[in-house]
Chain A
């Protein structure tokens, strides 16, 4: 059943409509990621069609499945992700280990789940259901948190390791989120990287953020901090990641600045 190795991806950047031309002309971009909820299957933006014609892998990244939520999986959301995956002929898709909705409210954000056996049971059941509806493998990403649930029974690394063990999902490790949780919650990044099954690593996210009032905020609107690149280096000392992708979602810098951040990533990988 298990795919032995993840597809090689290289160095990529999150495609956003605001930087479509930038992404097209940035040198050395090997793959892109798109926010699945922002696309209509069957009618791709011109820029993505162009990238697809160049043979770049396009990976749909979902933000709304709420697989860590207690509510039943919303099949329509998973089917939308599946349809986007078919449209871009994606090798895999992803979402997060988080919940977005609960009690009839929508947080508009990726909220951490309690690291308890009980929450893990629900997450595993939801992930298995989503996998049945998806045409390609699913990778799940660690999120950045400002607060921690009481009563944790597992570390974040143990929680993800067990999730992989029980669902056979892939991992999307966000080293900026790992930095955020180290900073905000006291997560030990080395323990995290030791606990997770690195052979199930699909790719890595790198993003910028900012320190405010003693907390690290994962904004995707600021420059990548050197601590985040250091964590990428720590990860690379243990495994060769199949891909590394830079995420930028707001306050877009110049093309040169984005190119420099991609170069900095490549230097860590080399």
Chain B
């Protein structure tokens, strides 16, 4: 029983912080908002570190674009930070925010 109820509580909190869920009962909504911003900023910093080309290509739009992406695409358990950064890059191309990267013919044939 113990694990199940703790799993529900922790899952509800992370959904609120990472995926736009409702703040769980008993939490200070302002602190939820502050923690949400801090987690988003940390995730964005990690993505910019792994894919500086994306941050550079987006320039001033990087922060807002990443915020728009992040809430609909929370990082999934078991994923690596690099996969998270690559997924953002793919999303940017799919959204038409960035042109598809040009790959050299010798790298394409893998």
Minimum distance in angstroms from B83 CB to a CB of chain A = 10
**Which stretch from B39-47, B52-60, B61-69, B90-98 is at the chain A interface?**
B39-47
A217-258 interface bits toward B, Cβ cutoff 8 Å, 1 = contact, 0 = none: 100000000000000000000000000000000100000000
Instruction: Tell me the complex Cα distance, A128–B4, Å.
Output: 19
- A102 x B13 contact (CB < 8 A): yes
B87 within 8 A of A: no
A175-191 interface bits toward B, Cβ cutoff 8 Å, 1 = contact, 0 = none: 00000000000000000
Cross-interface CB contact of B15 among A69, A70, A103, cutoff 8 Å: A103
- A147 x B34 contact (CB < 8 A): yes
Q: How large is the interface on A (under 10, 10 to 19, 20 to 34, 35 or more residues)?
A: 20 to 34
- B35 x A106 contact (CB < 8 A): no
- B77 x A105 contact (CB < 8 A): yes
A118 within 8 A of B: yes
Cross-interface CB contact of A101 among B4, B19, B77, cutoff 8 Å: B77
Residues from chain A with Cβ under 8 Å of B17 in the complex = 107
Minimum distance in angstroms from B5 CB to a CB of chain A = 7
User: With A70-B3, A118-B5, A121-B2 given, is the CB distance from A106 to B34 under 8 Å?
Assistant: no
Residues from chain A with Cβ under 8 Å of B3 in the complex = 70, 122
Residue of B nearest to A102 (CB): B10
Residues from chain B with Cβ under 8 Å of A108 in the complex = 39, 42-43, 46, 75, 81, 84
- B14 x A103 contact (CB < 8 A): yes
Minimum distance in angstroms from A72 CB to a CB of chain B = 8
Q: How large is the interface on B (under 10, 10 to 19, 20 to 34, 35 or more residues)?
A: 35 or more
A-B residue pair count with CB separations less than 8 angstroms: 95
Residue of B nearest to A217 (CB): B38
Residues from chain B with Cβ under 8 Å of A69 in the complex = 10
- B11 x A106 contact (CB < 8 A): no
User: With A69-B10, A150-B25, A215-B34 given, is the CB distance from A106 to B39 under 8 Å?
Assistant: no
User: With A147-B28, A147-B31, A151-B26 given, is the CB distance from A109 to B7 under 8 Å?
Assistant: no
- A104 x B77 contact (CB < 8 A): yes
Which of B7, B39, B77, B79 is most buried by chain A, counting CB atoms within 10 A of its CB?
A: B77
Residues from chain B with Cβ under 8 Å of A148 in the complex = 28, 31
Cross-interface CB contact of B35 among A113, A122, A147, cutoff 8 Å: A147
Residues from chain A with Cβ under 8 Å of B79 in the complex = 106
Residues from chain B with Cβ under 8 Å of A113 in the complex = 10
- A70 x B12 contact (CB < 8 A): no
A sample of 14 cross-chain residue pairs with beta-carbon separation below 8 angstroms, ordered by A number, consists of A102-B10, A102-B11, A103-B10, A104-B76, A105-B15, A105-B19, A105-B75, A106-B78, A107-B17, A108-B46, A118-B5, A147-B28, A151-B26, A250-B45
Residues of A within 8 A of B (CB): 69-71, 99, 101-109, 111, 113-114, 118-119, 121-122, 146-151, 213, 215, 217, 250
By Cβ-Cβ distance, the 5 closest A-B pairs, closest first, are A103-B11, A150-B26, A102-B10, A70-B7, A147-B31
Q: Knowing that A103-B11, A149-B9 touch, tell me 11 more A-B residue pairs with CB under 8 angstroms.
A: A69-B10, A104-B77, A106-B77, A108-B43, A108-B75, A118-B2, A121-B2, A122-B2, A122-B6, A147-B27, A148-B28
